[in-house]
């Protein structure tokens, strides 16, 4: 077979791709100029070379070594073996489906039960949502550090997280069951906990509500633990360095999340509409207990079928021993100086010890945040978190707006919500194909645009509604067909870009926070992973703040506009401050030059 030398354009494209792959590493991103040679990339990294031979540059390195190094950075089009252990993958998927189903069911059921008990007010549901989200912001890092501390016992740690989640959810359902089954408590909870007379607040139902809220914080944190353990750590380790395996596993997990998000609320609604809330709580409690047993068994089978998990435990032990030796060497010289002082300043009293524990925890969180913010991958975490500050999804706020300001039926709204889930699933299939063709960084760019552009007409439809104040002059809440089409088609199409970017960013952070990339800080990888959950919850609180500030249905368009601006800000940050620094440019000017040259001819 005859071969031809690559053209100048093809060579530039190949070199640009190599530059993207080399620059996604964890080390601070170089300020790349528009250069396209592998030698210039090597110089931008301070002259570092790949492989064990320091005398070879990127330009003269053997192809095998270069490919291996590129794959480790996670920015190449998906490569490596795509095969997975069928039984192990199936059981891991079932465990994740069960966990996601249980959490989504509780997430949907709790507010329903609160509204049913504490009638004529949304205050309990609002307090619960705010407090549990704030708890996730404050303590997600602690959960990640706990997983790091016991990284040498992965199976036991994950089982502890699963068991905690099931026990906390079960205890919450049990407390709801107490409220529903006790006639006196149910009566006292009416009218926002003031009883039928609506005079003053009754203590007993609010005390039980407080206990449910505290348990809810634990439910949120245990869900963070399971998510970090399974989706961030186990999936990354099981992929065994293959970006193709990692993409495939991530896509499976995200599809399960989407389906659970749609089906589990329907399951809870079916229970509450066909039986009493008391029986519904009993059924949910029983399902939670049974699924917990299966999850504990399934993760054990997955662990035994994945030798890479045990190998990572061994590596974790070695990293801990090395870190302990370093700390011991640093502290030896100070032992004699502090011995006398320790005798005088010995801690006394529980309050003093707790104060020191809190102080140490705050310092550690500060150190973790300081490291996380300095990492290049933080910009992508900021981008995905900005997408959480959006009211443009089928959450209770948007549904309340539709019920108040339109005549859309419940069946129509449910159908549009299902369409959004389907398009989100399409995004999980589109992303792996795009990664194979163009790599992770450009996939992220295209995905953000795929979300931003469809949301523009959707927001426009909220401003030009066809209501009496509009130029169309309609006298009721009926919306023109064009308005309905703009709103719901825009929302549905934006789900493709949203979930494609979610998968892309997940693959990026899994690669960037791998032990190979973190180096000496590898023992903190899960603590850093958990910080993204905290960041996402911060912007999720911001989303609630939008609807608290603009709480009237006719003001929803203002919150939607700010949400669109948040998506635009995420796109801008990603393109200018991340993708451009990784790739050296935002768009390929060569393609534009070729197009213009053709027109001149």
Residue 174 pLDDT exceeds 60: yes
pLDDT tens digits along 400-423: 788 878 888 878 888 888 899 899
Using CA atoms of 315, 316, 322, 327 in order, give the dihedral in degrees to the nearest 10.
170
| Whole-angstrom distance, CA of residue 379 vs CA of residue 360 | 27
Residue found under tokens 């502890």:
160
164: part of which helix (H) or strand (E)? helix 154-181
Please report how many Cα atoms fall inside a 13 Å half-sphere around the Cα of residue 344, on the Cβ side.
5
Q: Percentage of the chain surpassing pLDDT 90?
A: 40
| Whole-angstrom distance, CA of residue 385 vs CA of residue 570 | 8
| Whole-angstrom distance, CA of residue 421 vs CA of residue 426 | 9
Higher pLDDT, 471 or 375: 375
pLDDT tens digits along 211-265: 999 999 999 999 999 999 998 889 999 988 888 888 899 999 999 998 998 888 8
Q: Which two structure tokens, joined as six digits, stand for 403?
A: 């019920």
User: If you ran DSSP here, which 8-state letter would residue 470 be given?
Assistant: S
Q: For the chain, how big is the Rg over CA atoms in Å?
A: 27
| Whole-angstrom distance, CA of residue 138 vs CA of residue 118 | 28
**Residue 173: which residues within 8 A CB-CB, separation 6 or more?**
106, 281, 284, 285, 288
Q: Say what the pLDDT of residue 58 is.
A: 35
Render 562-597 in DSSP notation, one character per residue. HHHHHHHHHHHHIIIIIIHHHHS-SS-HHHHHHHHH
Say if CB 229 and CB 157 are below 8 A apart: yes
| Whole-angstrom distance, CA of residue 38 vs CA of residue 540 | 42
Say if CB 98 and CB 309 are below 8 A apart: no
| Whole-angstrom distance, CA of residue 282 vs CA of residue 289 | 11
Say if CB 218 and CB 315 are below 8 A apart: no
pLDDT confidence bin for 468, thresholds 50/70/90: low
| Whole-angstrom distance, CA of residue 128 vs CA of residue 236 | 33
Q: Say what the pLDDT of residue 324 is.
A: 66
pLDDT confidence bin for 397, thresholds 50/70/90: confident
Q: How high does pLDDT run on average in the chain?
A: 79
pLDDT confidence bin for 536, thresholds 50/70/90: very high
Residue 44 pLDDT exceeds 50: no
Residue 476 region by backbone torsions, left for phi larger than 0, else alpha for psi between -120 and 50, else beta: beta
Say if CB 167 and CB 288 are below 8 A apart: no
pLDDT confidence bin for 473, thresholds 50/70/90: very low
Ordered by where they begin, the domains of the chain are: 8-29+376-601 (1.20.1250.20), 80-325 (1.20.1250.20)
């Amino acid at each position: 077979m005859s071969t031809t030398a690559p053209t100048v354009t093809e060579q530039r494209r190949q070199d640009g791709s190599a530059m993207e792959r080399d620059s996604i590493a964890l080390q601070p991103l170089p300020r790349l100029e528009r250069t396209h040679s592998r030698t210039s990339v090597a110089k931008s990294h301070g002259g570092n070379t790949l492989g064990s031979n320091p005398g070879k540059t990127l330009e003269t390195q053997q192809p095998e070594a270069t490919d291996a190094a590129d794959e480790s950075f996670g920015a190449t089009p998906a490569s490596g073996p795509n095969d997975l252990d069928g039984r192990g993958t199936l059981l891991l998927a079932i465990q994740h489906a069960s966990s996601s189903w249980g959490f989504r069911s509780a997430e949907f059921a709790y507010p329903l039960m609160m509204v049913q008990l504490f009638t004529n007010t949304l205050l309990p549901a609002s307090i619960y949502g705010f407090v549990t989200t704030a708890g996730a912001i404050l303590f997600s890092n602690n959960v990640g550090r706990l997983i790091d501390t016991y990284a040498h016992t992965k199976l036991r740690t994950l089982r502890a997280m699963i068991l905690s989640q099931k026990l906390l959810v079960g205890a919450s359902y049990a407390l709801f069951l107490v409220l529903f089954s006790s006639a006196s408590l149910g009566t006292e909870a009416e009218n926002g906990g003031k009883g039928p007379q609506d005079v003053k607040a009754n203590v007993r139902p609010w005390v039980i509500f407080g206990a449910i809220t505290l348990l809810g914080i634990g439910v949120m944190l245990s869900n963070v633990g399971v998510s970090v353990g399974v989706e961030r750590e186990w999936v990354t380790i099981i992929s065994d360095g293959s970006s193709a395996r990692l993409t495939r596993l991530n896509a499976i997990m995200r599809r399960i999340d989407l389906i659970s998000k749609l089906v589990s609320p329907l399951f809870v609604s079916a229970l509450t509409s066909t039986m009493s809330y008391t029986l519904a709580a009993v059924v949910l409690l029983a399902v939670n207990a049974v699924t917990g047993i299966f999850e504990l068994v399934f993760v054990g089978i997955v662990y035994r079928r994945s030798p890479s998990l045990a190998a990572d435990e061994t590596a974790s032990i070695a990293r801990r021993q090395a870190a302990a030796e370093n700390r011991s060497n640093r502290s030896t010289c100070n032992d004699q100086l502090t011995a006398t002082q320790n005798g005088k300043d010995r801690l006394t009293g529980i309050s003093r010890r707790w104060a020191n524990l809190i102080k140490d925890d705050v310092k550690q969180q500060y150190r973790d945040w300081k490291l996380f913010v300095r990492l290049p991958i933080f910009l992508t975490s900021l981008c995905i978190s900005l997408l959480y500050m959006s009211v443009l999804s089928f959450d209770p706020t948007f549904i309340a707006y539709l019920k108040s300001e339109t005549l859309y039926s419940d069946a129509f709204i449910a159908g549009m919500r299902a369409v959004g889930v389907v398009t989100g699933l399409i995004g999980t299939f589109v992303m792996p194909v795009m990664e194979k063709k163009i790599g992770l960084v450009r996939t992220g760019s295209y995905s953000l645009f795929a979300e931003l552009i469809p949301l523009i007409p959707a927001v426009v439809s909220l401003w030009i509604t066809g209501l009496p104040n509009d130029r169309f002059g309609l006298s009721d809440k009926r919306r023109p067909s064009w308005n309905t089409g703009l709103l719901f088609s825009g929302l549905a199409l934006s789900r493709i870009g949203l979930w494609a970017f979610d998968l892309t960013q997940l693959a990026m952070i899994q690669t960037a926070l791998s032990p190979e990339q973190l180096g000496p800080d590898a023992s903190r990888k899960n603590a850093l992973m958990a910080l993204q959950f905290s960041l996402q919850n911060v912007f999720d609180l911001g989303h609630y703040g939008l609807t608290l500030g603009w709480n009237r249905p006719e003001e929803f368009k203002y919150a939607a506009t700010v949400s669109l601006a948040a998506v635009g800000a995420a796109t801008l940050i990603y393109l200018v401050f991340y993708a451009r620094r990784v790739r050296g440019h935002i768009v390929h000017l060569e393609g534009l030059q070729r197009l213009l040259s053709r027109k001149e001819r």
